[in-house]
Amino acid sequence: MNVLSVVDGHAHVFGAAGETGRSVHPLTPPERTAPVEELLGLMAGAGVTAAVLVPVDTADDVVADALARYPGRFAGVAVATDAELGRSGADPVRALYARRARWPFGAVRTGWLGDPARPITDSPALPMLRAMAADGLVLWSYLPPEQLGLLEQLVRALPELRVVLNHLGFCPHDMRVDEHLRPRFDDPFPGELVRRLARLADAPGVHVLVSGQYALSAAAAPYADLFAVIRRLAAVYGPERLMWGSDHPWPSRVPGYGALPGLVDAALPDLDAAGRARVLGGTARALFPDLNREDIHRMGALT
């Protein structure tokens, strides 16, 4: 496949906590960093031309700066604030666009859509979600199990909203940090979750990130115990709604960034050339048109 078509659909970059104001967590201790220059070097070695950058929390200056310094090479995802979710008393739509005026993110990540005991139509986040749908912004969904029902309601209420389910649609719970300083989850795909993820494919705006296998598998790379889940999702979503992502920096040493694009071939060996190109870059470019800029193709291999 043409090296210029490969796009990393989900990578984190961040600075030290004291310099950027980001939160501190066992996964991101104060001194841990993931500079964009490190990611660029890894991308160059793996033949990856562009990437979608995600901050680790609402402190997004590092991602905003990367988009400003490398136009066309990166797209950005913002992490939703309480103001944008309607939980602070501020106008959520005004808050969304005030932030977007500061930097041009194309998606918003959230782990909260509302009170799971109430319908999505009562959610204070709904004005923001309607504005996103109207303006073509993508919902980057990383919802815990109790929030999944609200997403199922949302895609029926706003079928025009484009949604990306992070990390194979896994619903995060009970995270621990492993010996390689990576997130780790046990029992990630109970049967009922897989069935619900498959049903979400009925909503044409829903997409799935093929990412995070290192954190979800009980096996070593290429994580064969997840092949059945990935193939089930590929069968119902089709390659045009699947998107590869690295989840850098967590797996970039073990198993290594260069091994990560190949996980698509291992899990989906029957993809034809067009389907493979779609998963490894075409879907990301469809969701983030700025990644189609011609200057990417003029630059050639990353340095």
Q: What is the model's pLDDT at position 293?
A: 60
**109-152 per-position pLDDT tens digit:** 999 999 999 999 999 999 999 999 999 999 999 999 999 999 99
91, pLDDT greater than 70: yes
Q: pLDDT confidence of 1, banded at 50, 70, 90? A: very low
**146-201 per-position pLDDT tens digit:** 999 999 999 999 999 999 999 999 999 999 999 999 999 999 999 999 999 999 99
Give me the DSSP letters along the chain: --GGG-EEEEEE-B--HHHH----BTTB-TT--B-HHHHHHHHHHHT--EEEEE-SSS--HHHHHHHHHSTTTEEEEEEPPTTTTT-SSS-HHHHHHHHHHHS---EEEES--S-TTS-GGG-TTHHHHHHHHHHTPEEEE---GGGHHHHHHHHHH-TT--EEESGGG----S-EE-TTS-EE-SS---HHHHHHHHHHTTSTTEEEEE--HHHH-SS-TTTGGGHHHHHHHHHHH-GGGEEE---BTTTIIIIIGGGSTHHHHHH-TT--HHHHHIIIIIHHHHH-GGGG-HHHHHH-S--
4, pLDDT greater than 80: no
